[in-house]
Chain A
Amino acid sequence: MNSSDNGPPGCPARQGQGTSISAADFTLVVHDCDTGPDGRAATTEVFGYFRLPGEEHDNDSLETASIVMPALSPLACLVHLAGADGILTRRAAAMLRSNVTRCPCTARAECPALNEASLLAAIEYAAGSEPHRQVT
């Protein structure tokens, strides 16, 4: 279906590379990396992606930006909590979906509704914080 069939043209991320965000599942990926000399992870990376159930090709997924932060920082602990709890992950997904649906951009890449600030806001919202304005 062409996005113009649904009304005025909007953010291409709604349809992505064929993955309608309204029907896609969301996965939040959280992993510690950059192990230091003491054997402990130095950083934590988080990003998310929307993908249709059963779809296995990366080309079809809608990815958020990724955020790298110091391991064991408050934000790193928060993203681990969000990634390990299905309810929190779904709350984050709902906010990201809502942002993309309302996004008026026409960018083919790096949609602002899926950027670092949007991902951070969604994780904080999922963990219990009220949505706050993005700093641009």
Chain B
Amino acid sequence: MNRDTLAEHHRAGEPAALSAARHFLAGTAEAITPDTPAPELLACLAGYRAHLAAVVATAGYQGSP
């Protein structure tokens, strides 16, 4: 997903954390192969955790009274 697509999601009212997570996921899906070295894979997992935490935190705010 490029920056233009990311901006479209923002305009569609998608929370910024979700747009960023979607952007990150799309980027890693293209970059990861079975030959990807371990440090890069670990960095990906750390990124997934960070984005997931941000999405969950955003959802928590939206769901609270």
A residues contacting B by CB (< 8 A) are 72-75, 77-78, 80-81, 124, 127-129
Contacts and interface: CB of A to CB of B under 8 A. Distances in A.
A127 B41 contact: yes
Contact of B42 (A72, A73, A80, A127): A127
Contacts of A81: 38, 41
A77 B45 contact: no
17 contacts: A73-B32, A74-B32, A74-B36, A74-B44, A75-B45, A77-B33, A77-B34, A77-B36, A78-B38, A80-B34, A81-B38, A81-B41, A124-B42, A127-B38, A127-B42, A128-B38, A128-B39
A127 B38 CA distance: 6
A128 B32 contact: no
B37 to A, nearest CB: 9
A128 B41 CA distance: 10
A8 B44 CA distance: 41
Q: Which label, helix, strand, loop or mixed, suits the secondary structure of the A interface?
A: helix
Interface residues of B, number: 12
Contact of B48 (A74, A77, A128): A74
Nearest to A124: B42
Interface string B38-52: 110110110010000
B58 interface: no
A129 B33 contact: no
Contacts of A72: 32-34
A129 B42 contact: yes
A98 to B, nearest CB: 20
Contacts of B45: 74-75, 78, 124
